[in-house]
Chains A and B, each alone.
Chain A
Amino acid sequence: MDLIFWAPVVCCGALAGASTGFLGTYIIGMRIPFLGICVSHAALAGAVFGGLCGLTGPMLLPPALAGAVIAALLLGTLDPQSARVDSNVLMGILFSLTMGLAFLGLGLYGVYGISDNEVRSLLWGSLNFCRWSDFYIMAAAAVLEIVVVAAFYKELRAILFSRVHAAAAGVPVVPVWTAFLILTSVVLTVNFQTVGGLMIYSLLTNPAVAAFLLVKGYGRALALSALFGLLSGLGGFLLAAATDLPTGAMIVILSSLLVGLAWAISGLRRRAGH
């Protein structure tokens, strides 16, 4: 294996897994997995329209980020009570809208005779082509993630339990929730470019679910979910390299296996009376 070529790929895979797994603790904890898929498809729509405007490569990041932030803030400001629909339904509506916009944009590539290969690869990601420049951007997003979570650690714990309880206890829910939504947009958009819109969903969900099955408590769940994400990203890549199978598929399968294993362990523990 050519280490110089593969070292940034391995690092990007591990970092994408850890940072997405960490974020997933909140998204799955709040039972809003649609938020992840909704924001990542909004990022795709942003990138598609950025590509239509002639942007390529890393320059697709700003429009993708703009799409993700707009979607996240829309979700954050819409009040399910006054809209009289469940927040998951609102996300479903926004998801289909962003998906529709992305496909409309892809259709326009054909109309204007532009190649859509680069933006199409965003759906699947391009982990095997990650370079150190990608790693640095992902690392910056991971640092931002740690800073925001450290700053609002206890407020996010309260919001995780219930936004109503948090607000009733005098927690400033709106600014903290908005900061979290912007963080979600940044982390998902940056990682989405490398691991792809489809795989990011499994990294967001599986490590968190596995962690919740194995430990009690906020801090432990966060740490274990990040570790499972890292193991999925790193292990998936190593499995793919050893078997010559697609990296993305291996990461998804490994993270799903971790959930299965956690389920089995938690079942055994329950039987043992823990």
Chain B
Amino acid sequence: MKAPVVEIRSLRVRRGGRTVLQVERLDVVEGEVVVVLGPNGAGKSTLLKCALGFTRPNSGEFRVLGHPVWPSHPPLCALRRRIGYVPQMLAAHSEMPLTVREVAAIGRTGIAGLFRRLTSSDWSIIDDWLERLGLADLAGQAYASLSSGEQRKTLIAKAMVQQPEMLLLDEPTANLDLFRREQIVELLGRLYAETGLTILLVCHELEAVPPCCRRLLVLRDGRLIADGPPEDVLTRQMVENLYGSRLRLFATDRRYAAVPVGEATP
């Protein structure tokens, strides 16, 4: 039996006088690729922030990698080192022209520990991931000078150099053009095939669901309204329920899209 990676029991998060996330029970096991789908404000990012201890639930239990996040045992820093995280927004660029290699090295910083330099083995892990993600030629470039897609890949490299036990991705294809979105979706499939890593991906676009996803959760108004294989969950009714009746579901080869319905010509 596979070990549980995420265990949620009676979780409730309230912010600004309203419940932003309420999940009675949710388990994600080792090696699963789980996509959390839902419109803006559904509580998807809050779910990831709870997993990392950035957001404190008002009640309930949230266990990650077998440990409670609040109160955290071991300390949050130690738990976070085992989780790769690619946040929703691209980091507000530091004015400092950090190179791609230096940004990826952030992922090894916590693991190396205080008062210790990154070792040659740390740097070889960093260089290896830059190579695997096709960023080796850009390693010496300033991060701020990269395209959005290359920046996103750099942040994925930063998460992967942690050699995490779980990867959390918050809208990894947001603000990318179609070509770059497809590159990221393809990359996630490749990452999963190579590592077998547990992936928890949050998105609001059906097009961002990678073919390797075997389980789809749907959040709406902070509540889990569906949980199952994408082909079962993604029905025409579900798409209408989430995004309105002006979108039609299109599915092929484990890829999904919501296509706008044109107006009938007279």
Contacts and interface: CB of A to CB of B under 8 A. Distances in A.
Interface of A: 25, 28-31, 151-155, 157-158, 160-162, 164-172, 208-209, 212, 215-218, 221
Contact of A169 (B54, B140, B162): B162
A216 B87 CA distance: 24
Nearest to B118: A154
A170 B114 contact: no
20 contacts: A29-B94, A29-B96, A30-B95, A30-B96, A154-B112, A154-B117, A154-B118, A157-B102, A162-B94, A164-B87, A165-B87, A166-B106, A167-B54, A169-B110, A171-B77, A171-B109, A172-B110, A217-B99, A218-B96, A221-B96
B142 A216 contact: yes
Contact of A216 (B77, B140, B155): B140
Interface in B51-95: 52, 54, 77-81, 83, 85, 87, 91-92, 94-95
B94 A160 contact: yes
Nearest to A171: B110
Tell me what chain B mostly uses at the interface: helix, strand, loop, or mixed. Answer: mixed
Of B83, B110, B158, the most chain A CB neighbours within 10 A belong to B110
Contacts of A155: 109, 114
Contact of B96 (A25, A165, A168, A170): A25
B229 interface: no
Interface residues on B, range: 35 or more
Tell me what chain A mostly uses at the interface: helix, strand, loop, or mixed. Answer: helix
B210 interface: no
Of B54, B87, B94, B111, the most chain A CB neighbours within 10 A belong to B94
B209 interface: no
B179 interface: no
B98 A160 contact: yes
